Amino acid sequence: MAQPATGPAEGPGKDPSNTPAGTAVHPVDERLPPARLVPAALQHIAAMYAGVVIPPLIIGQAVGLDTAGMTRLIAASLLTAGLATVLQTVGLGRFAGNRLPFVNAASSAGIAPMLALGEICDRRTDGRTITRGLRTDGIATLLGPVFGTFPTSAFAQNVGVVSLTRVRSRYVVAAAGGALLVLGAFPVLGAVVSLVPMPVLGGAGIVLFGSIAVSGIRTPAEAGLDDSSNIILVAVALGAGIIPLAAPTFYAGFPAWAQTVLGSGISAGALVAVVLNLFFHHLGTHSRTAVALKSS
């Protein structure tokens, strides 16, 4: 496993982009020597490769593609993922790229991985950073159909890799993105990587997703769980997210549009959290009390 970066980490409240010249480089912007960069990049590729090829395998089999067509679809998926990853980590001026050690691939999307990674890297993840990251998702999703492949977005497995290795340099992930471009351009090379046994990838996935869960738990803990309203908010949102998993037929009697929203634990929990946050902190008595205290 790659050795963790030794550069000092800045506090989450500081903006590394405004770091004066001559001060220590933030670990996210650290340029590692090849002896450390290559193994760390390979770890990211190993963590996400199975997840990237699973969507084209499932879709390809469903539409009846032959072996040659399946190979081209996987190669296109890898190529698009490489382009998106390089754009996300290196950035395009102030327009696109959150400049965090992010892998973009054909998988589930979201702001949550960006927030979790910003927390792990001790780097401020403000609205502008998230906006640039989402723009990159949009650009990659626009390019995907051009190559005959799928939309791409933030890849959660690699958040776990950063958490475990503590190698936070975005250039490591940029190198991984470059490797994905090569794998996509030469499908034979991609087939070699696919020889990694699935049980090995599955065992690593347990640890990686567990690390993501820990990061998710740590985020609400810092929001102030000593406040009773926040405790209720987290408890109800968590319960709403667990219902579709514990009782899949719970919403069977609801309209189709409601089942689509509430049938997913992620969307149901997020919706409940947003509504309760508005009620407790913006519309309810808690908000009026806070305003009164601030005015006094």
How confident is the model over 212-233, as pLDDT tens digits? 677 667 767 766 777 888 888 8
Domain boundary, last residue among 179, 209, 239: 209
CA distance 259 to 144: 29
In this structure, is residue 219 part of a structural domain?
Answer: no
In this structure, is residue 4 part of a structural domain?
Answer: no
pLDDT computed for residue 8 by the predictor? 41
In this structure, is residue 243 part of a structural domain?
Answer: yes
Higher pLDDT: 101 or 287? It is 101
How confident is the model over 138-196, as pLDDT tens digits? 787 777 777 767 666 666 667 777 877 788 888 888 888 888 888 788 777 666 655 66
The count of structural domains within the chain is 2
Query: 156: closest CA among 111, 190, 122?
Result: 111
Higher pLDDT: 20 or 54? It is 54
In this structure, is residue 8 part of a structural domain?
Answer: no
Residue 274 pLDDT grade (very low, low, confident, very high; cuts 50, 70, 90): confident
Two structure tokens written together for 179: 């490797």
Q: Which residues pair with 154 in a beta bridge?
A: 104
Domain boundary, last residue among 183, 209, 235: 209
In this structure, is residue 85 part of a structural domain?
Answer: yes
How confident is the model over 106-116, as pLDDT tens digits? 654 567 677 77
In this structure, is residue 5 part of a structural domain?
Answer: no
In this structure, is residue 216 part of a structural domain?
Answer: no
Following CA atoms 188, 190, 192, 196 in sequence, which dihedral angle do they give, to the nearest 10 degrees?
-160
Q: Domain containing 105: what range?
A: 16-209
